[in-house]
Structure 1
């Protein structure tokens, strides 16, 4: 577990997930199975919460309504950065927030546009996260090769778990 302060932990996670357009959102189904699906992360500053727009009649929303514990996975492989966020999903009805988050991109999913009654705001309150940062592809490959040749432990970057 990290010694990062809450504020530093939030900043660290925010820095990793910034500009990652899609997260894999994992829910638990009625049968107890884990199910991951891509969701578009809204372009808001991460403050411990992450916002999504989903469909009220979707399996994902039904799963969160019954079992709100979820996980979000973000990846920036080109930068060697990864984060897994565990949290609690809240299904939110807030017209002002929908106005803030809405973009015409969602017209492809909701025939009625912003007025579509099937729109569901999803707010994930982060409980904690684990992140991985490597030194980049070239250095990582070098460390792997060095470790294989010398038998020494390869330094692969930073890995930490933080409580949010």
Structure 2
């Protein structure tokens, strides 16, 4: 099923499936005027949370304040799915969650292992997400663009947009 149909049928399931296939997205804190940063995500869909492992000395961590809102944006490799997730971002240490998400990739960044003094965890408590799904078909895209250019009252129908609340 293409992203357009998947987002229309079940936006939450489309988000879960697409994020499973992605290695990373872009995370940024609202109001900090900092660029978003690439981060590997570890979703906990049962709790509507996304976890991140990072260094304590990053601009991202230093910019956090109580109640900080953040956005995490992802785009599929096929460029037919985009999502922007929003919620409250907090720095926290959860040994159980760390054990669950620890991997050889994380170990490559934190040579002191799970006890590395520079290691910290960020938890994005999800509030809502905007999803866009489109057809990956170049033929459909071209047809819709041509049709819209031939009729000034028509807009291209190449996708769908949904907002979900967690």
Please, what TM-score do these two structures have when normalized by structure 1? 0.82
Alignment correspondent of 1:22: 24
The aligned counterpart of 2:103 is 103
Aligned to 1:70: 70
With normalisation by structure 2, the TM-score equals 0.81
Q: Does 2:162 match 1:160?
A: yes
Deviation of 1:79 (Å): 5.0
1:64 and 1:70 in contact (8 A); partners too: no
> Quick one: structure 1 residues 10 and 125, their matched pair in 2 at CA, closer, same or farther if it must change by over 3 Å?
farther
Aligned-partner SS, 1:78: coil
1:33-72 Cα shifts (integer Å, max 9, x gaps): 1420000112x45342111111112111111245621000
RMSD (CA atoms): 2.1
- The total of aligned residue pairs comes to 154
For the 8 Å contact 2:30–2:71, the answer to whether it is kept is: no
Runs of 4+ in 1 over 3 A off after TM superposition: none
d(CA) in 2 for partners of 1:40, 1:51: 9
In structure 1, the residue matched to 2:145 is 144
1:129 positional shift: 0.9
Q: Contact between 1:28 and 1:35, CA under 8 Å: does it hold in 2? A: no
Instruction: Report the CA distance between 1:145 and its aligned residue.
Output: 2.3
- Relative to structure 1, the CA distance from residue 132 to residue 92 in structure 2 (aligned partners, 3 Å threshold; closer, same or farther) is same
> Unpaired runs of 5+ in structure 1?
1-7
